Amino acid sequence: MATLGAHIVHLAPGELDLAAPFAGAFAQQNGYWHAGAIASLADSANGYAAYTLAPPASDILAVEFKINLLAPARGEQFLACGRVIRPGRTLTVCQAEVFADSSSAEAPPSRTLIAIMSSTLIIRPAP
């Protein structure tokens, strides 16, 4: 998360929002954020959301995730909102929505839904 410059902007049981600024190092050929950077942010939001409901001294690992990319990832900031859909003792399922925030001199600030992710995470005792 340090590599992406991400920080937590919302935290509640089963909920975690991560924000990260656009950075050219993670852009793809058109100057938008790479799908991999978006997926990293959403995967982390889902992982931390699961962590808020896990027993102490647990380790959380993603088993699988799927992302639908809905719109080009252009903007000054990205926001990934992870939510626990079903907590479990062994497996937890989360969903994330990723938004792009943009502003310019000509237009009011806008927030666009750019991706949705569903994840399965496994909870284990920390090593």
CB 69 to a second copy: min, Å: 6
CA distance 116 to 108: 24
List residues near a second copy by CB under 8 A: 2-3, 25-26, 29-30, 34-37, 39-41, 43-44, 59, 61-71, 85-86, 90-91, 93, 95, 113, 116, 118, 120, 122, 127
Number of neighbours of residue 54 by Cβ within 10 angstroms: 18
* Inter-residue contact 73 to 31 (CB < 8 Å): no
Question: CA angle at residue 86 from 90 to 92, to 5 degrees?
Answer: 30
Of 83, 65, 75, residue with least CA distance to 114: 75
CB 43 to a second copy: min, Å: 5
Q: Which is nearer to a second copy, 59 or 76 (CB)?
A: 59
Q: Which is nearer to a second copy, 2 or 105 (CB)?
A: 2
CB 13 to a second copy: min, Å: 18
Q: Which residues contact 3 (CB under 8 A, 6 or more apart)?
A: none
CA distance 48 to 92: 12
CB 109 to a second copy: min, Å: 20
Q: Which is nearer to a second copy, 102 or 118 (CB)?
A: 118
Q: Which is nearer to a second copy, 29 or 104 (CB)?
A: 29
